[in-house]
Amino acid sequence: MVRDRRFRKNEIIYRQGDPASEVFFVKFGTVDLYVDYKTEDSKLISVVPEGKVFGELGVIEGKPRTMTSVAREDSVVTVVDKDSNGNVTGTTETT
């Protein structure tokens, strides 16, 4: 399934440790990626601008999220489920 979601400034999109079942595309706005978000060890790792993808690594590797993603400003993000025709990971199912 592919859908657009709106996130308010400072709204969490996903948390470090969550299962990785979706890939995200920033349609409008900006998204921050943090390690150890909201702890004394919190570190901003990346700023994802409009037109860029994030959250794909966990889906490709089949591992939990390694960072927390937070809308830096009001943003619209296209969300693609990992099972959307196998296109996210570049694989296809065979029977």
pLDDT per residue as tens digits for the range 19-53: 999 999 999 999 999 999 999 999 999 999 999 99
Prediction pTM value = 0.85
Tell me how crowded residue 25 is: count the other CB atoms within 10 A of its CB.
19
Question: Does the pLDDT of residue 5 top 90, yes or no?
Answer: yes
| 61 token code pair | 């590797």
The whole-angstrom separation of Cα 73 and Cα 59 is 25
Q: What number of CA atoms fall less than 13 Å from residue 71's CA on the CB side?
A: 20
Of the candidates 3, 25, 5, the one whose C-alpha atom is nearest the C-alpha of residue 76 is 5
81 alpha carbon, distance to own chain's centre: 11
Question: Does the pLDDT of residue 89 top 70, yes or no?
Answer: no
